[in-house]
Amino acid sequence: NASGNLIAVGTEFFPAQGNPIRGNAGHGLALLGAAEGNLVQNNGPVVANGGDGLRLDGPGVVRNTIQYGSFVSNAMNGITITNGASSNSIPYFSGLEVSFNGGSGLAIGAGVAVSVANRINLTASANTHYGVLLTGLTASAGVSVNCFLAKIASDHNKPNGLTTVGPDEVQDFLK
């Protein structure tokens, strides 16, 4: 039972030129079984792992918060929340980067209650699959040039829709 811990992932590592980065054979960081109320602060990249960069897995994985950092170039997803993990939070101020992963940047599986409304701020680019993948969930999302417009956009196609507002569409959208 891992509860109430601060998990501070190390600083950025740049290998000597020509030496490949070697991550873990499995996941970079995994909260499994009974992990409650932990704070994950990633001060450097979680990179080149054989599984997910970060995996929250199981019904006892609850009320954890993920802040800061990068989950990049992992064989599977940058971050996976699955199998009943619930009420975990990625606050809007976190500024996570989930890029260049073999799967999706952020994958949220069926049976998961996760605090995501207005609470995700991440850069997801160049992943093999999706930036954000929601499986088996009903969710509405808004994507725009800032958090305020994204929140307004998320209210437009409820209960299960996506609204995007690009920079050239802002004026018309606000009318």
For 66-116, what is each residue's pLDDT tens digit?
887 788 899 999 989 888 888 888 765 566 788 889 998 888 876 665 544
Residue 50 pLDDT greater than 90, yes or no: yes
- CA proximity to 106, closest of 127, 136, 86: 127
- CA proximity to 74, closest of 113, 23, 119: 23
SS3 track for 107-135 = EECCCCEEECCCCCCEEEECCCCCCEEEC
Distance CA 91, CA 69 (A): 13
Distance CA 106, CA 62 (A): 17
Q: What is the pLDDT of residue 98?
A: 85
Q: Tell me the average pLDDT across 122-142.
A: 72
Pair of tokens at residue 12: 């950025």
Contact 75, 67 (CB under 8 A): no
3-state secondary structure of 63: coil
Contact 2, 35 (CB under 8 A): yes
For 157-170, what is each residue's pLDDT tens digit?
776 667 888 888 98
Positive/negative CA dihedral, 112, 160, 70, 125: positive
Q: What are the two backbone dihedrals, phi and then psi, of residue 154, each rounded to the nearest 5 degrees?
A: -65, -20
Pair of tokens at residue 135: 């499986």
Q: What is the pLDDT of residue 115?
A: 46
Query: Residue written as tokens 């980065």?
Result: 21
Check residue 150 and report its DSSP letter: H
Q: What is the pLDDT of residue 159?
A: 67
3-state secondary structure of 105: coil
How large a percentage of the chain has pLDDT more than 70?
A: 74
Q: Tell me the average pLDDT across 143-171.
A: 79
Q: Please give the model's pTM, rounded to 2 decimal places.
A: 0.71
